[in-house]
Amino acid sequence: MAAKKDATATLLTKEGLDKLVEELEYLKMTKRKEVAARIKEAISYGDLSENSEYEEAKNEQAFVEGRIIELENKVKNVKLIEESSKTQKTVQLGSTVHLSNLSKSKDEPEIYTLVGSTEADPLAGKISNESPVGAAILNKAAGETVRVKVPAGAVEYKILKFK
């Protein structure tokens, strides 16, 4: 049974959890009231069968309520990614990794923080442990080389360092 619970766990850093809680509070305290006001106003226009404002507001309400349920479940099942400790020997969730792309002649290392899929944002340098690169570097040590199959082919990375 424990394995099933971990499968539904939402892996987040403290920063990621704070953002989810902030969004949840906004949806519950502000957005719900705004949508309810729009529905009330649309109802005042009369005939609901041909009232596009009412339909739009009801659709938005369904979306907001669905997102609230989704966020509540994620927050309820959160498993915080601990900050990497100095004695860590391999790349773990929460590690910031400096990679050298051996497939390109590029001097600058690529720097990524390994996070859970919920807070992955490749443009901000946060990659998921479920992504091809994230899965390849997980549990690897500095100095190791990994080969990653990506949609464009295969890429080889050397782990320069991590913290």
pLDDT tens per residue across span 74-112: 999 888 877 655 567 889 888 999 999 888 776 789 999
CB 35 within 8 A of CB 89: no
3-state secondary structure of 148: strand
3-state secondary structure of 108: coil
Distance between CA atoms of residues 45 and 155, nearest Å: 59
Residue 35's pLDDT is 96
Take residue 67 and report the two structure tokens written for it. Answer: 């997102």
Take residue 10 and report the two structure tokens written for it. Answer: 């939402």
**Segment 25-78, tens digit of pLDDT:** 999 999 999 999 999 999 888 888 888 889 999 999 999 999 999 999 999 988
- Residue 163 pLDDT class (50, 70, 90 cuts): confident
Between 149 and 83, where is the model more confident? 149
Nearest to 34 by CA among 61, 54, 71: 61
Distance between CA atoms of residues 71 and 68, nearest Å: 5
Overall pTM > 0.75: no
Distance between CA atoms of residues 137 and 162, nearest Å: 11
Tally Cβ neighbours within 10 Å of residue 34. 13
**Average pLDDT, integer, range 122-139:** 92
Q: Does pLDDT of 153 surpass 60? A: yes
Residue 5's pLDDT is 43
**Average pLDDT, integer, range 119-145:** 92
All domains of the chain in start order, with CATH: 2-80 (1.10.287.180), 96-162 (3.10.50.30)
Take residue 33 and report the two structure tokens written for it. Answer: 């009231």
